[in-house]
Structure 1
């Protein structure tokens, strides 16, 4: 098998096959945004809480408490801030997080926010057998549907990556969009082996994520080296460029990371800056519905 060779030994069909398995298709930046807004702002929060620790079998109180902070302190602060700016957001939530924190999903729904898939226990989907990945995805969808009252229409894989089975599972679930890949600044359609899938990608980027800047691991070299206002400068520049282009500004945050006081101050300043412009705050599902509606318009 060619895949058992070193990559430099692959023949052309092999390396082309790997690259083409999941690829960016037609761009989906709309010609305009609702209300004449210049830019769409899609805020998202990955409500992981204790699940990354649980996934790794870390069950001592220290690491679990760090995650619990997200639900206990971070989420209420975030919801108050979003209400202040009348900014609907998307909360990607592992099903185990939702089951651990009774009423949290309802608080998102009551606030006008979207609840979307983010795995069962923040599993590393790329290391799972296809049948296990599928089982966890469907269990998670059923759980969030029960708690939110509506079935999720979007997914963000816990590891921001696809296994060989992920796109097929996403399509089998009937989801409208994914938000895990990084081939553009704006929405695009996903291709599977060169064929259009109808699944919209609302892309993420590590630049627009709080975790790379602020994560801390006491027994490893992972430390938060970037001052919060240094991160603010990056995110503000990202937004300003999206506004200049008339495109999409998407941001990924985590309640147990961004929810601390000094970091919430930065998020507040960012939203104050954004709100001084002609923007459309929307959930990921709303952005996807808008770009698809324009594509279907005569």
Structure 2
């Protein structure tokens, strides 16, 4: 096996160009004269990361159960008070473990998107297995929501295999929210070809896991006080507002749903709401708007 420093130009260039950012889809304006768009999302992983890794002990599973049992009702109540629609990306096994939760998302007007079958590491899968799990996830969430087929996907752990984008295209998704090539929505390219797939980019800065992650046997401990994370996210939002762009946030019920951290989200939503005209939208709504209105500035 050759080392990367031994690769010829066609090899390293093809790796870089396999999935790439295409057209900037930042729209000239957001609906209703809003100065900024805000897309709040939750990855409802619950027990699935533990199950994916073969961990079946009650301790680690109980932390995921907290997300479904306590955090989700708390989050839904907060979103209702602020009148904020959100996108919930749900591993299908989470949905099967907690079917009433998926129904509650839809009943409250939120979006349900695909987030893998069991939060699998898709970059370790072959094409056939990855496609089958993604299709099975689509079918399961469509059934659990009472007939609404998801149009968006967030890959587990924001990971891509060589087959992922092709599968996303084959299965008819409108958008992906797993990559980080821009602050604003953009069109995905596959080997230089425009795909028509909207990317709603994520970023670790705007994710709760890096600040509050906990791994009992790996030495990973929460290291950032919630009020410091609030300051970071306020600055991210204020920057998006100043640029007339998109503020996208990724949260996990089992992380953010705790008492001290739900207060963080409450304070952030208050700051956003009080800043002036804002368009709160699901990721699906963002993708539809930028597809219709997006242009290179």
Range of TM-score over shorter length:
over 0.9
Q: Please state how far the C-alpha of 1:102 moved relative to its aligned partner.
A: 2.5
Q: 1:293: which partner in 2?
A: 292
CA offset digits 1:76-117 (Å, max 9, x no partner) = 010001111111000000000000012111100011100000
Q: Please state how far the C-alpha of 1:217 moved relative to its aligned partner.
A: 1.2
Q: 1:192: which partner in 2?
A: 190
Q: Please state how far the C-alpha of 1:244 moved relative to its aligned partner.
A: 0.3
* 1:232-247 aligned within 5 A: 232-247=230-245
CA offset digits 1:149-205 (Å, max 9, x no partner) = 210000000020210000011011100000000000000000000000000000000
Indicate whether 1:34 and 2:31 are aligned: yes
Indicate whether 1:93 and 2:90 are aligned: yes
Contact 2:91 2:137 in 1 (8 A): yes
Query: What SS does structure 2 have at the residue aligned with 1:159?
Result: helix
Q: 2:280: which partner in 1?
A: 281
C-alpha distance in 2, partners of 1:12/1:60? Answer: 48
Query: What SS does structure 1 have at the residue aligned with 2:156?
Result: coil
C-alpha distance in 1, partners of 2:17/2:157? Answer: 20
Query: What SS does structure 1 have at the residue aligned with 2:215?
Result: coil
Q: 1:119: which partner in 2?
A: 116
- Choose which of 80, 84, 92 in structure 1 pairs with 2:81: 84
Q: 1:167: which partner in 2?
A: 165
Q: 1:180: which partner in 2?
A: 178
C-alpha distance in 1, partners of 2:191/2:97? Answer: 39
Query: What SS does structure 1 have at the residue aligned with 2:262?
Result: helix
Q: 1:110: which partner in 2?
A: 107
C-alpha distance in 2, partners of 1:61/1:81? Answer: 29
Aligned residue pairs total 293
C-alpha distance in 2, partners of 1:159/1:166? Answer: 13
C-alpha distance in 2, partners of 1:15/1:239? Answer: 36
Q: 2:213: which partner in 1?
A: 215
Q: CA-atom RMSD, angstroms?
A: 0.8
Q: Please state how far the C-alpha of 1:219 moved relative to its aligned partner.
A: 1.1
C-alpha distance in 2, partners of 1:41/1:287? Answer: 9
Indicate whether 1:258 and 2:265 are aligned: no
After the TM superposition, list the runs of 4 or more consecutive aligned residues in structure 1 that deviate by more than 3 angstroms.
none
C-alpha distance in 1, partners of 2:151/2:52? Answer: 24
Query: What SS does structure 2 have at the residue aligned with 1:103?
Result: helix
Q: Please state how far the C-alpha of 1:218 moved relative to its aligned partner.
A: 1.4
CA offset digits 1:98-142 (Å, max 9, x no partner) = 000121111000111000000000000001111100010000000
CA offset digits 1:242-288 (Å, max 9, x no partner) = 00000000000000000000000111000000001211000000000
C-alpha distance in 1, partners of 2:294/2:229? Answer: 35
- Choose which of 140, 143, 147 in structure 2 pairs with 1:146: 143
C-alpha distance in 2, partners of 1:158/1:90? Answer: 15
Contact 2:26 2:294 in 1 (8 A): no
Structure 1: which 5+ residue stretches go unaligned?
A: none
Q: 1:74: which partner in 2?
A: 71
